[in-house]
Structure 1
Amino acid sequence: MIEKLAEQLVNLTVKQVNELAIFLKKEYGIEPSNSNTRGLEPLVDSSKKESSSSKEEKNIFNLILKSSGNSKLSVVKLVKEITGKGLKESKELVDNLPNVLIKESVDKKEAENLKNKFEEIGAEVELK
């Protein structure tokens, strides 16, 4: 039985080895170490680095209004100020909630500032 298991492990593809490592970590809390996996850890770590670096690289966001909260008029005014649209157009945007794109391709700092402004008046905003 041990010989068959060893043969199966030796014949795993790189993808299967990564899946096994993830499964063992998730189900049993077992993480690969350099001493007993001979090359398994770099494969797992590279996938972690890719996902974390893709999160770090995101510097441009779209500002999406999810809810106007209790102060709809204040939200309409802020939408008007941010978008440069007229009062009627801004009101129509706020009336078409949820998931209304307020501003796209905004840098991280500006997106956070705008999100904070909306949240201060009770609106719910998402950055994507």
Structure 2
Amino acid sequence: MIEKLAEQLVNLTVKQVGELATLLKKEYGIEPYSSVKSEDFSNKKEKILEKKEKSIFNIILKSSGNSKLSVVKLVKEITGKGLKESKNLVDNIPSVLKESINKKEAEDLKNKFEEIGAEIELK
């Protein structure tokens, strides 16, 4: 008997599966496991992503603003590169100035750049 039932279930059309799911839900309060599971997983994944805060950042120069010379000097200071290399970074925007730094340092550097009119993105 179980084998026949299994064979009948396997041979159902998509429409018949939908009708079966509706009937099971309406008459018996049974929802298909896969749809409940995927909804639960989606909700949990969203909550985990909201809770997980990024802690490592790259500093990207998006604009030097009006004070290009000040930005070049600051780039030179934080990167340890020479004047010519620092100027090239500022001239070729967007430029990654520092990679893999912690949140506090990234925010401090971003504030320094913004004080002199530069636009910084943290990624």
TM-score normalised to structure 1 length = 0.67
Structure 1 alignment gaps of length 5 or more: 19-39
Structure 2 alignment gaps of length 5 or more: 1-17, 26-30
Verify: 1:121 aligned to 2:116, yes or no. Answer: yes
The CA distance in 1 between the partners of 2:67 and 2:33, in whole Å, is: 58
Percentage identity across paired residues of the two chains: 60
The CA distance in 2 between the partners of 1:15 and 1:66, in whole Å, is: 44
Count of aligned residue pairs for this structure pair: 100
Residue 50 of structure 2 is matched in structure 1 by 52
Residue 109 of structure 1 is matched in structure 2 by 104
Residue 13 of structure 2 is matched in structure 1 by none
**3-state DSSP of counterpart to 2:74:** helix
2:80 to 78, 84, 105: 84
The aligned amino acid for 2:34 is: T
The CA distance in 2 between the partners of 1:88 and 1:61, in whole Å, is: 25
Q: Which has the larger radius of gyration?
A: 2
State the 1:112 CA deviation: 0.1
